[in-house]
Amino acid sequence: MLLPLFILGGWQLITSRHLVEAAFLPSPSEVASAWWTWAFGAQSPFTWTSGTFVAFSLMSMKRVFLGFAIGATIGLTLGILIGWYRVAADIFDPLVQGLRPVPMTAWLPFATLVFGIQEPAAVYLIAMGCFFPVVLNTAAGARQTPQLLVRAALMLGTKPHMVLLRVVIPAAMPSIATGLRLGLGIAWVLVIVAEMLAVKGGLGFAVWSAYTFLRMDLILAAIVTMGVYGWCTDRLVVVISNRLMRWQKGLVRQ
């Protein structure tokens, strides 16, 4: 907690001494006041800057979680297949490696042409961004499963068709967790890009609209909000993954 407080204190000091023009860097109190109006002010059909914070947050969360769920599901499935089955790796890995260097923002015109300026365009872009870190980390984790564990499982009576479920996937869990964290972080980046250009409403729409009207206080309020949401969702993934991987800490399932 000390670092954020230190940054907040330095920010307040800079603005109170007028070292930077208020138009470019409003004070923390001004940002808090703008956020309060944005969150709890009376709604108006003529402006989004009052009373729309909850609705915009829910829009962004919906797009992030839906896109992340789609991209992570496909990435996990394909990553396990690529990492464990040579045939799947020969078929799918060249395609994944060929598409991976393409910047995610380059897919935005494609998404808007195919889906229009609508919700599916944002979900598609987020799913694409989440897919690649998940599939690469999952494939690497499955590929690095120690053969000693596989042989031990077979010797102890595990059926060959159950090795994937009982040995490979648990062994790949640390890599899978890393891929999910990376994918979720990218999801929060891409939802802002998508909402700026492809859909209406959401935190990205708020940032772009605030920029249009030079409302730096609302831009900073939205940035801080996105940072908090991203941190909270990342901690959620960490907690769940730690729960699933208790064996890493030497805990025995009761």
Cβ atoms 29, 16 nearer than 8 A: no
**Mean pLDDT on 131-156:** 90
**Paired residues of 47 in beta bridges:** 44
CA distance 105 to 129: 9
pLDDT on residue 249: 65
Alpha-carbon Rg for the chain, nearest whole angstrom, is: 22
Quote the pTM value: 0.87
Task: Tell me: pLDDT of 253 over 60.
Answer: no
> Positive or negative CA dihedral for 81, 84, 85, 86?
positive
pLDDT tens profile 44-69: 877 888 889 999 999 999 999 999 99
| pLDDT for 22 beyond 80 | no
Burial class of 195 by CB neighbour count within 10 A (0 to 12, 13 to 18, 19+):
buried
Question: What is the CB neighbour count within 10 angstroms for residue 121?
Answer: 24
Which range scores top for mean pLDDT: 14-23, 64-73, 211-220? 64-73
Domains of the chain by start residue, with CATH: 52-249 (1.10.3720.10)
**pLDDT over 60 (residue 240):** yes
Strand partners, 44: 47
Task: Pick the closest to residue 135 from 82, 91, 62 (CA basis).
Answer: 82
Average pLDDT (197-202) is 83
Q: Does the pLDDT value for residue 111 go beyond 90?
A: no
